[in-house]
């Protein structure tokens, strides 16, 4: 599977401008790709202005994703603001070119930035398969909570869509690499660049790690780019068979 991470600046709270810009970036992908990963709140930036910016399920941004997936024959994913049953969610959505849809609501809301005062936390960890790769999604801050991401021999690729600040870039790389090694999986993480409407700087450094913690592809800091790399299920399964550490993992249950 070929993965492409979209590392771009975002217009603050301007959905249509962001969709147009991201579409232009996607069009620069020079070779066929299977999966396009967008940052957290890719249509607005990481905003708490949910009353103004939220969309209903199946609205404008979803239709844009559906059209892009069909046109490019790839899966596309990222999070944006959804309002459903009177509640706001930071919802990650995956759309396949065949129109299949999977959704994940961010579990760990960033309380230091008061995200929990606006949004409702998700309660479901999801796993789904796309082109023979089992995928587990995370959103940004979820990365800090390894129990939530723990591989139960049920996924191959951990995806993180993020608005991770430049001030904590060392933690970003350390945690992503740790998730890859401890879960014997691929990790693909798309982070934005630029300064948002809260004057927080983001440096990008989008990356794909392999199950040994090796770099497969990475974006340069503060540069708008498409970061692409290949992952191999054959290589992953061979590694897991030769070094079956997950057989010795502790069992646990998550309480809500």
> What residue spans define the domains of the chain?
2-247
- Residues marked as catalytic: 40, 106, 140
What backbone phi and psi angles, to 5 degrees, belong to 36? -115, 125
| Range 2-247: architecture per CATH | 4-Layer Sandwich (3.60)
Would you state the pLDDT for residue 158? 98
Give pLDDT, residue 171. 98
Q: How far apart are CA 118 and CA 110, in angstroms?
A: 11
How many of the other CB atoms lie within 10 Å of CB of 163? Answer: 24
Where do we find the tokens 């497969």? 216
Q: How high is the mean pLDDT in each 10-residue block of the chain (256 residues)? A: 98 98 94 96 98 96 98 97 97 98 98 96 97 98 96 97 97 98 98 97 97 96 96 98 93 80
pLDDT at 256: 74
Cβ partners under 8 Å of residue 108, min gap 6: 121, 141, 142, 144, 145, 148
Amino acid 255: pLDDT: 77
């Amino acid at each position: 599977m070929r993965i492409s991470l979209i590392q771009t600046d975002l217009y603050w709270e301007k959905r249509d401008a962001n969709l147009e810009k991201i579409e232009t970036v996607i069009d620069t992908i020079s070779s066929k790709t299977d999966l396009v990963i967008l940052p957290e709140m890719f249509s607005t930036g990481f905003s708490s202005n949910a009353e103004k910016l939220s969309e209903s399920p199946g609205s404008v941004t979803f239709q844009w994703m559906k059209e892009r997936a069909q046109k490019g024959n790839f899966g596309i994913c990222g999070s944006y603001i959804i309002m459903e049953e009177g509640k706001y969610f930071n919802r990650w959505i995956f759309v396949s070119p065949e129109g299949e849809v999977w959704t994940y609501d961010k579990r760990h809301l960033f309380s230091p930035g008061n995200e929990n005062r606006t949004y409702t936390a998700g309660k479901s960890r999801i796993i789904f398969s796309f082109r023979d790769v089992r995928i587990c999604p995370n959103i940004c801050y979820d990365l800090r909570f390894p129990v939530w991401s723990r591989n139960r021999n049920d996924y191959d690729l951990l995806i993180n869509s993020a608005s991770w600040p430049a001030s904590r870039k060392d933690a970003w790389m350390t945690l992503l690499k740790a998730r890859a090694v401890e879960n014997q999986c691929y990790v693909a993480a798309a982070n934005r660049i630029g300064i948002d409407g809260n004057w927080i700087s983001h440096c990008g450094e989008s990356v794909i790690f392999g199950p040994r913690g090796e770099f497969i592809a990475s974006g340069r800091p503060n540069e708008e780019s498409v970061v692409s790399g290949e992952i191999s299920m054959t290589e992953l399964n061979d590694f897991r068979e030769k070094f079956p550490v997950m057989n010795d993992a502790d069992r646990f249950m998550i309480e809500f």
